[in-house]
Structure 1
């Protein structure tokens, strides 16, 4: 029987994102703080539709706004790791990255009573050490890579990509990759921002046009795969705005009408591991 899974995932960055970027003036900080407004709207919407979602929460957010995160725990949502700060792992040393993961994991365990099993890299930018550290710390899945749009797969260790030679591919490991896509992320569609290098992300798209893309991707998966997973990535400070909440609710209704099964990413990782079988490792 066909099974088409929708993962509603949320990166609850709050203040950690502007702080990591070094934008410490009042306006960017207030944009991050709006995430508290947005996450409460999202929590209520998910409760109405009886959906358990996955929230990737930096340790900084957990320790700064424990009541907001505790409310998510009480509603049965998965709290997964998003680092302690929102710094890119590729910009950290191996020891700094390990410290981030350990501190973030401890914060999640304190507030949820559970050790996190899932990780998403800030800015979806892993380092050469990330996979080894996740395996060392007992993580079951990552959600930072983009090697497929509908099918989870095992992460690979030991790839080589020399400039003047063919790529070499390493060994699949005991870490399920639940892939993501910028096209299924609210930030590039909606958020106006300027990078430190001066590049502009225009954002501010019509929510109806974006919704058409998101629903069409699910419809394509349902048409072409008997089993598949689509992962949507939202940020409360982005999608918590009124008209974008309308988009999220319309998306949920379309997915439900299309027969989608909603699941947390931890649940998907378990199901995918069973389907994929043991890794070569």
Structure 2
């Protein structure tokens, strides 16, 4: 019997990503606040109406800066997963810095939920050479930062190595389940506009057009495989705008009609592990 799982995931960054990139003036901070105070509530209302469990990758910064909003996510029955403390990409950190940030965020999540997180997603989807090893060391079940497949979870490798002019060296398979993602299934590059002296992200695409592509991704998964997991990645300060919320609800209604099985990422990772280890 065919089974097609959908994970709606939300990177609850609020202002952490802006601050980590040196954008700490009032306007970017207010954009992050919109995600916490307004966008998150709209998303939770939508999920409640449709009885959909979701996963919120939440930095420790958000948990400690917006405790009531994070408590509302937990009260709604959603998974809180790890997304660092300060939203600094691990590839920019030493092993010691990365582990200290990871442990600090675990403590924040434990204080919020009463339990350690089961899953991890790196800031900016940029792992370091140490990340997989640290995730295994600290008892994580799954990661959602890599792009080695589209619908089929796999075991993340530890120790891949690449040098210019040499063949790729594949590391060893870890016990960590990789829940693959894609920039195309992320709201941020499609919709978000921001600029710095050195960078411009134009964004501002039509949400209806983007959602048609997101629908097609589910259609293709269903057409090409008997079992799979499709992960959508969204940010409350991005998708939480009113007109985008209308398009998101249309997507959710489409997926429900087409037989999608909505799960938290922890639930989907458990099912994937059973299949991989059968």
User: TM-score scaled to structure 2, two decimals?
Assistant: 0.98
| Cα-Cα RMSD | 1.0
Q: Give the corresponding residue for 1:214.
A: 214
Q: Give the corresponding residue for 1:98.
A: 99
State the alpha-carbon separation in 2 of the partners of residues 195 and 5 from structure 1: 38
Tell me how far 1:169 sits from its aligned partner. Answer: 1.1
Name the SS of the counterpart of 1:85 in structure 2. coil
Q: Provide the aligned length of Structure 1 versus Structure 2.
A: 277
State the alpha-carbon separation in 2 of the partners of residues 237 and 263 from structure 1: 23
Over residues 203-261 of structure 1, what are the superposed CA-to-partner deviations in whole Å (9 max), with x where a residue is unaligned?
00011110111000000000010000000000000000001101110110111011000
Tell me how far 1:195 sits from its aligned partner. Answer: 4.6
The answer to whether residue 11 in structure 2 is matched with residue 5 in structure 1 is no
Over residues 99-133 of structure 1, what are the superposed CA-to-partner deviations in whole Å (9 max), with x where a residue is unaligned?
11111011111111121010000000001110010
Q: Give the corresponding residue for 1:15.
A: 15
Q: Give the corresponding residue for 1:72.
A: 73
The answer to whether residue 257 in structure 2 is matched with residue 257 in structure 1 is yes
Q: 8 Å contact 2:152–2:228 — kept in the other structure?
A: yes
Runs of 4+ displaced beyond 4 Å: none
Q: Give the corresponding residue for 1:178.
A: 179
User: TM-score scaled to structure 1, two decimals?
Assistant: 0.97
- Aligned pairs for 1:241-252 (under 5 A) are 241-252=241-252
Name the SS of the counterpart of 1:105 in structure 2. helix
Task: Return 5+ residue gaps in structure 1 as ranges.
Answer: none
Tell me how far 1:83 sits from its aligned partner. Answer: 0.2
Tell me how far 1:147 sits from its aligned partner. Answer: 0.7
Q: 8 Å contact 2:129–2:159 — kept in the other structure?
A: no
Q: 8 Å contact 2:146–2:179 — kept in the other structure?
A: yes
Q: Give the corresponding residue for 2:33.
A: 33
